[in-house]
Amino acid sequence: MSKNRNIAKILGLTETSNPNQISLSTKDSAIPHTLEIDPEVFTINVEAPDSGSNAMWKWHWDPGTVAYSRLGVSGITQSNVPLYKAGSYTVNNFAAHDIYSNMSQTHKIHLKNIEGAGVQNLSTWSTSTLNITGQIHPDINGGNATEIQRLQINVPSSFSTPTLYAPTVTYTVTNDGAGAYAFSGTAVGNNPTLGPVRRGGTYTFNVNASGHPFYLTTDSAGLYSSGNYIGEYTTGVTGSRTDTGNVVWTVDSSAPDTLYYACGVHSSMFGTINVKDLAMDSNGAGLLTLYFQHDQEGHSTPIELREVPSIPGQVCLVYNASTNKFAPQDLGVYLDNTTQFKEKIVDLVGTDATTNFIDSSEFAVRTSSFIDSAGLTSRLLNDILYNITLHQGGELTTTTGTARWYAPFNLTIQNIIPKLGTAADATVTSLIKKNGSTEKTINFTAGQTTSTVSSPTFSMNEGDYITIDVTAIGGAAPGEDLNIQFKYKRV
């Protein structure tokens, strides 16, 4: 029996053939209603405060409504960012214009249908507005006013695979003077890994590296021999072995998944190219995956598209005067929308009032002064239990954690809640490190998706950081989807 039918049976109400509808009616009256969840309306903030063109996006958002089950995050990388069908999203990019913290360049963000460099294959669901000044987020850029880029994203309720266009991308390649090819523009760094490049796309390597002939190769077996161009790949390639000029590659449908670029006379000038079909990725559940993408390579976060959830627990039915129907509403939304409710809370807290209350243990009458409204603000800030979640998605791999979560103020970790999406066939171990030193160890035994951290409490000063190392992933069947939630309070 469905959840909605259970509701109907308990309340003695009438069912309909629609699984999202119950006829809320009795023998005397009928109540117009809907049990469909409203599309998500959500604000997401993003920055890239670290140095380098490949600095990862770091995400900030408040907890979402019960139906969408979002935990709040503050300044952490994400293996994917979920968006829901029919949802409306505002994405504030604090890295687009102003340089602060350890940034070495600005970072525009795009909503793209496929991962990869450039500004082709942008999603039509998004509009971008640049140069919005004076925006403030308490955990970004020290809370200072920042000039931002804003994406407004409206995900349709139904959609099909969009038309994709073969990319045209140019790389600028020079000699760094110390035994590496130096890339700038579309890809940045010495001997960087390139891609994904797309079959059917055209990629131009603008080479200015006299004495260092540039070519593509299939050789991954260490057969390199200076001047012999072993494994040279020429299908769709013009200008191979150029040291000053253009090497142009139109990627053939037969191109292997991995190729390499190399210098004809220096083995240290070498890098990897990842090759993929011109096609959208899928989240494995039949829904498409898009990307939040910088216009440079190596700086992207997948977007997992999801169906609108069905009605969860912990919501109430509230009358909507505009539709003349009762509809499910999150209690947090109810509070935001109901001025009288807010005012009642203020009345209960009081301002500069004095009252008597009974001490339940001594049954003695005591006197206590309520705090004033300014004191209430401070008290609430200090009593709030915050949480963050660090995540490694998909099948686990052993990892030395580099993604850092920085303490926004002096705090105490109150609890640590580790979970696996899929259990492993042997022990899974991860290390929680503070400022590079192991603070706590988490072990999941074989077949278990939960674990308990002994004595989870520890303190952090503002600016301290946490990283996670995954040191054991199980055996032949590794664990999947590791989530470690930290609950903490300001001190």
Give CATH 2.60.120 domain extents, the chain. Answer: 386-490
Fold adopted by 386-490: Jelly Rolls (2.60.120)
Tell me the per-residue pLDDT of 107-118, one tens digit each, with 9 for 90 and over: 999 999 999 987
Nearest Cα to 190, choosing from 203, 177, 202? 177
Tell me the per-residue pLDDT of 163-219, one tens digit each, with 9 for 90 and over: 999 999 999 999 998 899 999 989 988 999 999 999 999 999 999 999 999 999 999
Q: What is the pLDDT of residue 463?
A: 85
- Is pLDDT of 333 > 90? no
- C-alpha 486/C-alpha 471 separation (Å) is 20
Q: What is the pLDDT of residue 381?
A: 58
Q: What is the pLDDT of residue 474?
A: 92
Q: Which residues pair with 317 in a beta bridge?
A: 328
Peptide bond into 32 cis (omega under 30): no
- C-alpha 175/C-alpha 268 separation (Å) is 11
- Is pLDDT of 368 > 50? no
Cα distances (angstroms) measured from residue 414 to each of 85, 293, 436: 36, 35, 20
Q: Which residues pair with 30 in a beta bridge?
A: 25
According to the CATH classification, is domain 41-162+281-306 in 2.60.40? yes
Strand pairing class (88-93; 41-47): parallel
Cα distances (angstroms) measured from residue 31 to each of 22, 38, 171, 317, 376: 10, 19, 64, 11, 41
Give CATH 2.60.40.420 domain extents, the chain. Answer: 168-276
The DSSP secondary-structure symbol of 141 reads: G
Among the ranges given (77-81, 359-363, 470-474), the one the predictor scored with the smallest mean pLDDT: 359-363
Higher pLDDT among residues 55 and 397, named by residue: 397
383 pLDDT tier (thresholds 50, 70, 90): low
Which one of 11-15, 28-32, 323-327, 349-353 scores highest in mean pLDDT?
323-327
Class of the CATH-defined domain 168-276? mainly beta
**Mean pLDDT of all residues belonging to the chain:** 84
- C-alpha 345/C-alpha 336 separation (Å) is 12
